[in-house]
């Protein structure tokens, strides 16, 4: 499995494709709406194709890193999609965060064509993608997982097989639900402190050494909210989508989702206020605007 197709060379996909090149794989990429990452990857040694079908016809594995269910479905099933050009034995590794139910449906269609679909959602953000240290959870046939393990090891460090198709996506949605809920809780806590006249930098220092400590609090908040820098590593609009997927899954299962529903409403409000292109931690702006406080440290 040395020839790898990669579709979706955006914020996460570009550094992942770059790491595959560094690991010695032949990488064939699809043109992107933003030509800059394509040009950079081609300069680094990648080849460029015009359609998913063309990529599938030339590779052993096709990796996807796409924004939503509809795009994934079109890339796989469309007139010029992967199934139109792929051959028996091809493995599709979908790192996109989509509905587990959609992924399971697509996996059945792909299997009927003699190919395999693995859901392999990621955690670690752009920083992890650049460093090649992503956490990757994988669902689908175990034999296919073992075949593509060397490919995954080129882009991630903590790689875990979960179970049948869709199971890895369930875990990923749980991860993002926790992150989103934590972002809301941190924003509320910092706002409480600031309204009481306490500097958020001091609050952050204390909480980072207390039982509330977490990666989101220690790293993400320090690099964004406290500095007033909400440049996206993972867009608020994508977090809104993921929490919505978790809520949809809970409804389908009949599982209580009280916090999920509330968090989704807050992200929906932020999206409606034009904050979709901020980092997902930008949910903090709802609290700043509601109270008139500035959550930056030292302000």
What's the pLDDT score for residue 1? 77
Q: Extract the tokens encoding 187.
A: 């924003």
Which residues are registered as beta bridge partners of 93? 63, 118
What's the pLDDT score for residue 185? 98
Q: How many Cα atoms within 13 Å fall on the side-chain side of residue 32?
A: 24
Per-position DSSP letters for 167-221, written without gaps between them: HHHHHHHHHHHHHHHHHHHHHHHHHHHHHTT--HHHHHHHHTTSTT--HIIIIII
Residue 168 CA to residue 162 CA, distance in Å, equals: 6
What's the pLDDT score for residue 184? 98
Asked if residue 226 has pLDDT above 90, the reply is yes
Instruction: Quick: pLDDT tens for 193-221.
Output: 999 999 999 999 999 999 999 999 999 99
The set of catalytic residues is 172
Residue 66 CA to residue 71 CA, distance in Å, equals: 7
The four Cα atoms 287, 292, 297, 299 give a dihedral, to 10 degrees, of: 180
Q: Extract the tokens encoding 122.
A: 């990621």
What's the pLDDT score for residue 125? 87
Residue 17 CA to residue 177 CA, distance in Å, equals: 27
Instruction: Quick: pLDDT tens for 162-181.
Output: 999 999 999 999 999 999 99
- The phi-psi region of residue 197 (left if phi > 0; otherwise alpha if psi is between -120 and 50; otherwise beta) is left
What's the pLDDT score for residue 233? 85
What's the pLDDT score for residue 34? 86
User: Which residue is it, tokens 């599938």?
Assistant: 56
- Domains of the chain with bracketed CATH: 3-165 (3.40.50.720), 170-291 (1.10.1040.10)
Instruction: Quick: pLDDT tens for 113-131.
Output: 999 999 999 999 888 999 9
- The phi-psi region of residue 77 (left if phi > 0; otherwise alpha if psi is between -120 and 50; otherwise beta) is alpha
Q: How confident is the model at residue 182 (pLDDT cuts 50, 70, 90)?
A: very high
Asked if residue 32 has pLDDT above 80, the reply is no
Instruction: Quick: pLDDT tens for 35-67.
Output: 999 999 999 999 999 999 999 999 999 999 999
What's the pLDDT score for residue 51? 97
């Amino acid at each position: 499995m040395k020839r790898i197709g990669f579709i979706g060379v955006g914020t996460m996909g570009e550094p992942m494709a770059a790491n595959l090149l560094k690991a010695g794989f032949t990488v064939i990429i699809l043109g992107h709406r933003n030509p800059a990452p394509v040009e950079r990857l081609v300069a680094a040694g990648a080849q460029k194709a015009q359609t998913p079908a063309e990529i599938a016809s030339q590779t052993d594995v096709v990796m996807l890193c796409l924004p939503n269910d509809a795009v994934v479905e079109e890339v796989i099933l469309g007139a010029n999609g992967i199934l139109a050009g792929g051959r028996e034995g091809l493995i599709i590794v979908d790192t996109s965060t989509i509905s587990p139910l959609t992924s399971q449906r697509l996996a059945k269609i792909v299997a009927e064509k003699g190919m395999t679909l693995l859901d392999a959602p990621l955690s670690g953000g752009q920083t992890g993608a650049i460093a090649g240290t992503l956490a990757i959870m994988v669902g689908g046939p175990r034999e296919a997982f073992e075949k593509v393990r060397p490919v995954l090891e080129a882009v991630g460090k903590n790689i875990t097989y979960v179970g049948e198709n869709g199971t890895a996506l369930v875990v990923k949605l749980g991860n993002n639900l926790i992150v989103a809920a934590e972002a809301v809780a941190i924003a509320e806590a910092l706002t409480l402190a600031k309204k009481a006249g306490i500097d958020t930098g001091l609050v952050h220092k204390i909480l980072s050494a207390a039982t509330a400590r977490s990666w989101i609090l220690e790293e993400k908040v320090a690099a964004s909210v406290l500095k007033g820098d909400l440049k996206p590593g993972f867009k608020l609009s994508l977090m809104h989508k993921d929490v919505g997927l978790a809520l949809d899954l809970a409804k389908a299962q009949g599982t209580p989702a009280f916090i999920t529903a509330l968090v989704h409403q807050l992200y929906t409000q932020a999206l409606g206020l034009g904050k979709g292109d901020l980092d997902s931690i930008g949910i903090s702006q709802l609290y700043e605007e509601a109270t008139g406080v500035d959550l930056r440290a030292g302000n």
